[in-house]
Amino acid sequence: MKTTTLQKMTFDDLPQVLASAQRAFHYPWTFEMFRDALMAGDEGWLLLKEEQLIGWGLIKNVLDELHILNFCIEPAHQRQGYGRHLLAALIARAPEAKTALLDVRASNFSAIALYEAAGFRPMGCRPGYYPAARGREDAILFSMPLTPAAAGRQYA
Ligand SMILES: CC(C)(COP(=O)(O)OP(=O)(O)OC[C@H]1O[C@@H](n2cnc3c(N)ncnc32)[C@H](O)[C@@H]1OP(=O)(O)O)[C@@H](O)C(=O)NCCC(=O)NCCS
Residue 20's domain is classified under what CATH number?
A: 3.40.630.30
**Strand residue runs (E) in 41-109:** 43-49, 52-62, 65-73, 99-105
Q: Which residue's CA is the nearest one to ligand 1's atom 30?
A: 114
Grade residue 151 by pLDDT with cuts at 50, 70 and 90: very low
Q: For residue 155, what pLDDT is reported?
A: 45
Q: Which residue's CA is the nearest one to ligand 1's atom 43?
A: 72
Task: Taking residues 76-98, report their average pLDDT.
Answer: 96
The total domain count for the chain is 1
Instruction: Specify the higher pLDDT residue, 28 or 147.
Output: 28
Q: Which residue's CA is the nearest one to ligand 1's atom 18?
A: 110
Contact in structure between 44 and 56 (CB atoms under 8 Å): yes
Structural domain boundaries, residue 131:
4-155
CA of 83 relative to ligand 1 center, distance in Å:
6
Which atom of ligand 1 has the smallest separation from the CA of 55? 39
Residues of the chain with pLDDT > 90, as a percent, come to: 90
Q: For residue 123, what pLDDT is reported?
A: 97
Q: For residue 156, what pLDDT is reported?
A: 39
C-alpha to C-alpha distance for 12 and 121, rounded to whole angstroms: 35
Task: Taking residues 31-46, report their average pLDDT.
Answer: 98
Q: For residue 149, what pLDDT is reported?
A: 53
- Choose the residue to mutate in 4, 27, 110, 120 for probing ligand 1, maximizing ligand atoms within 8 Å of C-beta: 110
